[in-house]
Chains A and B, each alone.
Chain A
Amino acid sequence: MDEKKDVTVCSGCKAELTVSEMMEYLCVCPHCGKHLKISARRRVKSIVDPGSFRKLKCEVPFLNPLDYPGYEEKISSLKEKTGLEEGVLFGIGEIEGRQAVIAVMSSDFLMGSMGIAVGEMITTAFETADRQGLPVIIFAASGGARMQEGILSLMQMAKTSAAVKRFSEHGGLYIACLTHPTTGGVSASFATLADITLAEPGALIGFAGPRVIEQTIGQKLPQGFQHAEYLEEHGFVDQIVERKDMREVLSRILKLHDRQKKEKKNLLDYLRIGRK
Chain B
Amino acid sequence: MIKELDEKLMAIRTEVYDLLENNGDPHRINELKKEYLTLAKTERVHTPEERLYLARHKLRPKVDEYINTIFDDFFCQRGDRLGKEDESIYGGVALFRGIPVTVLGHRKGHNLQENMKYNFGMPGPEGYRKALRMMKQAEKFGRPVITFIDTPGAYPGLEAEANGQSNAISENLAEMSALKVPIIAFVTGEGSSGGALAIGVANRVYMLENAVYSVLSPEGFATILWKDSTRSGEACDLMKLTAQDLFGYGVIDGIIKEPVCGAHHDPVKVYEEIDRILMKELKRYRAMSAEDIAKERYKKFRNIDAKVWKR
Contacts and interface: CB of A to CB of B under 8 A. Distances in A.
Interface of A: 61, 63, 65-66, 68, 116, 119-120, 123, 145, 147-159, 161-166, 168-169, 184-185, 187-193, 205-209, 212-213, 216-217, 221, 225-226, 230, 234-236
B304 A234 contact: no
Contacts of A206: 161, 165-166
B214 A187 contact: no
Contacts of A185: 193-194, 215
B2 interface: no
B214 A150 contact: yes
B224 A147 contact: yes
A65 B308 contact: yes
Interface string B142-173: 00000000000011111011111111011101
Nearest to B221: A147
A152 B249 CA distance: 8
Given A116-B308, A157-B197, A166-B298, A145 B216 contact: yes
B241 interface: yes
Interface in B172-201: 173-175, 177-178, 193-194, 197-198, 200-201
B104 interface: no
B225 A147 contact: yes
Given A157-B197, A193-B170, A207-B169, 15 more contacts: A68-B238, A116-B305, A151-B214, A161-B170, A162-B174, A162-B178, A163-B302, A188-B165, A190-B170, A192-B164, A192-B170, A208-B154, A213-B156, A213-B158, A217-B157
A189 B220 CA distance: 19
A207 B174 contact: no
Nearest to B196: A154
Contact of A147 (B157, B198, B201, B216): B216
For B201, B221, B225, the residue with the greatest tally of chain A CB atoms inside 10 Å of its CB is: B201
Contact of B305 (A152, A189, A212, A216): A152
B141 interface: no
Secondary structure class of chain B's binding surface, majority of residues: helix
Contact of A162 (B166, B177, B198): B177
B193 A154 contact: yes
B170 A158 contact: no
Secondary structure class of chain A's binding surface, majority of residues: helix
Interface in B241-284: 241, 245-246, 249, 251
Given A207-B160, A226-B161, A191 B193 contact: no
Given A161-B173, A213-B157, A150 B164 contact: no
B239 interface: yes
A169 B304 CA distance: 22
A65 B170 CA distance: 24
A175 B157 CA distance: 28
B78 interface: no
12 contacts: A145-B216, A150-B240, A151-B240, A151-B246, A154-B215, A159-B302, A164-B174, A165-B175, A188-B154, A206-B166, A208-B154, A225-B158
Contacts of A207: 154, 156, 160-161, 165-166, 169, 194
B201 A158 contact: yes
Contacts of A145: 193-194, 215-216
Contacts of B309: 61, 63
A189 B225 CA distance: 22
For A150, A168, A184, A234, the residue with the greatest tally of chain B CB atoms inside 10 Å of its CB is: A150
B231 to A, nearest CB: 13
B302 A162 contact: yes
A191 B216 CA distance: 19
